[in-house]
Amino acid sequence: MNKKSVIAALNELKKTAQTEKRLQIVSSSNSVVLEREAAELINSSNVNTEISLNGGSLFINQDALSNIISSSQGDIDISLIRTETAEGRPVVDINITSDNEVITDFGGNEIIVAIPYILKPDENANAIVVYYVDSNGAYHMATGQYNNGMVTFKTNHLSKFEVGYNLVKFEDVTGWAEDYSTYLSARKIINGAGNNKFLPQNNITRAEFVKMLAVLSSDRIPNELKSNYTDVYSDDWYAPYIAWAAKKGYILGMSETIFAPNENITREQMAVIINRFIADRNIKLYNSEAKLFDDASDISTYAKDAVNVLSRADIISGKGNNKFEPKQNVTRAESSKMLTMLLKQYLN
């Protein structure tokens, strides 16, 4: 695609009423070449880019495109090669090159990939997952989901990606909690308690929740990461996750030196951590009418904004009788719902 074509497309885009300006590049083949001048013009035009190829689409925001341009030496070749597994699920190999140099990441920024997929008759949509396959052939969980005929995932690097199926069912989960536990357990964000049990009414500890959020993030978390909390030891299973969350600014601890990893997490504490994650990742949330809880005065000052943001986005809700119960502990079922709602909005 050359500069002249981009100018014409941008002029057409100005005539639309879209709140989020998105320039769409469509090719019937599995690759497209974006001339460097054209890429620079797109990047300076305050628009995001959707590249639709035969087999899927890439959604590239301005920051990611800027990093791709900075890493390129000339024109930019973008390709998406689609094949299938023996089970008939998509495999996509995404490549971005410039002058035969491979560009594999976007400076920490993420792109969104969308692949058409038809659910098989016996498949549970909540158990459709995405893996990325590293250079050694090892499989790692990516941040993805199925929705309305598309498998969508976010990634901050390029490799081969494979759509998979990982249904985990528990004999003690029914009703409203079942979809949420299935969704998170399929992604290994939360585990069962053994003997095919989930124990949905058990409380979540502060350390357990931080690990769940870390796994949800798909960040690579080195085992040697350490925090300054004196009650978190380097050989504790949760040590690298707490160090990751502290470094990111998602947690502040009970004090500068105490985290209290084995204490149960409260509803307002969880709301604050999720809200900091949302702000850091610049996640666009649903925005419904604000919920005015009858016990709003019981919510700690530091948590009021977080509760307001998350309740408007339907990530959290009341406990009945229009009360939020900020100091109550969070159960495994409740945390599953909150993180499922968060992840689904993260992927939109």
- According to DSSP, the β-strands at 22-26 and 48-53 are parallel
- Distance CA(250)–CA(287), nearest Å, equals 22
Same domain flag for 131 and 196:
no
Q: Would you put residue 249 in left (φ > 0), alpha (ψ -120 to 50) or beta? A: left
Identify the segments of the chain with pLDDT beneath 70: 18-19
Same domain flag for 122 and 186:
no
Tokens of 321: 């009788």
Radius of gyration of the chain (CA): 22
The candidate with the shortest Cα–Cα distance to 107, out of 179, 152, 157, is 157
- Distance CA(52)–CA(32), nearest Å, equals 9
Which among 113, 141, 165 is the end of a domain?
165
User: Letter for the amino acid at 72?
Assistant: S
Instruction: Write down the pLDDT at residue 108.
Output: 85
Instruction: Write down the pLDDT at residue 18.
Output: 66
Instruction: Write down the pLDDT at residue 14.
Output: 84
Q: What is the sign, positive or negative, of the torsion defined by CA atoms of 321, 327, 331, 337?
A: positive
Instruction: Write down the pLDDT at residue 348.
Output: 78
- Distance CA(167)–CA(186), nearest Å, equals 6
Same domain flag for 208 and 306:
yes
> How many H-runs (helices) and E-runs (strands) does the chain carry?
9, 13
Same domain flag for 195 and 109:
no
Residues facing 155 on adjacent strands:
111
Does residue 157 lie in a domain region? yes
Same domain flag for 113 and 138:
yes
> CATH number for the domain including 106?
2.60.220
Same domain flag for 45 and 142:
yes
- Distance CA(113)–CA(152), nearest Å, equals 6
Does residue 17 lie in a domain region? yes
CB 179 within 8 A of CB 240: no
Q: Which ranges of 73-228 does DSSP label H, i.e. alpha helix?
A: 177-186, 206-217
Does residue 172 lie in a domain region? no
The candidate with the shortest Cα–Cα distance to 2, out of 32, 44, 47, is 32
Does residue 115 lie in a domain region? yes
Does residue 170 lie in a domain region? no
Which among 144, 165, 186 is the end of a domain?
165
Strand spans (E) along 12-89: 22-26, 31-34, 48-53, 56-60, 76-84
Instruction: Write down the pLDDT at residue 1.
Output: 87
Instruction: Give the HSE-up count for residue 48: Cα atoms under 13 Å, Cβ half-sphere.
Output: 14
Angle at 97 between CA 95 and CA 99, to 5 degrees: 160
Range of the domain at 12: 3-165
Instruction: Write down the pLDDT at residue 49.
Output: 94
DSSP conformational letter for 126: G
Instruction: Write down the pLDDT at residue 11.
Output: 87
Same domain flag for 305 and 255:
yes
Q: What is the sign, positive or negative, of the torsion defined by CA atoms of 258, 262, 268, 271?
A: positive
Does residue 261 lie in a domain region? yes
Burial class (CB in 10 A: 0-12, 13-18, 19+), 49: buried
Counting the structural domains of the chain, the total is 2
